[in-house]
Amino acid sequence: MAIRDAKPEDAAAACEVARRSIIELCAADHGGDPEIVARWLANKTPENMGAWIARPDASLLVAAEDGAILAVGMVSDAGEILLNYVSPSARFRGISRALLKALEARARERGAAIATLESTQTARRFYLSNGYVETGAATMKFGMRSGYRMSKALA
């Protein structure tokens, strides 16, 4: 498995990973409610993924193995982790942790001293176990109580 910068031709596969991760792995957040799922997926399109790949102020990384994208993540130059999704078929293989470390390293390279993110209920324990601390009360997002603001020093 290798983690690398996403290329424009990765947009469709990266989008599919994000969409499957939300649908199949985040039931604790969306509870199977089709309206919540639709709102959450609304911006997860190949076109938007392509635009995110091209952003000059952020890095979109993918974890790939044998030509298949297993995870996708994005971090802004300011250190905000904007995406971090793993394919259901690759869950519990350490790929999410490796991708998170790569996102943090990229933020550090770009001058960020702190990584911030908004976690789902599904990923909350994952981030806590990786050194993140909660920095505020949970907020509503996409019609679900699932926005856990967190941060971590990158020094």
d(CA 15, CA 4): 16
pLDDT in the model for residue 27: 87
DSSP 8-state class, residue 42 = T
pLDDT in the model for residue 29: 79
pLDDT (tens digit, 9 = 90+) per residue, 80-90? 999 999 999 88
pLDDT in the model for residue 138: 74
Contact between 69 and 14 (Cβ < 8 Å): yes
The tokens of 13 are what? 């596969």
Contact between 114 and 86 (Cβ < 8 Å): no
pLDDT in the model for residue 84: 96
Domains of the chain: 2-153 (3.40.630.30)
pLDDT in the model for residue 9: 97
Alpha carbon distances (Å) from 136 to 63, 79, 83, 97: 30, 18, 19, 23
pLDDT in the model for residue 144: 58
Low-confidence residues of the chain, pLDDT below 50? none
Q: Is the pTM of this model over 0.85?
A: yes
pLDDT in the model for residue 91: 85
d(CA 21, CA 63): 14
pLDDT in the model for residue 31: 82
The CB density around residue 1, as the number of other CB atoms within 10 Å, is 15
Residues β-bridged to residue 58: 76
pLDDT in the model for residue 121: 84
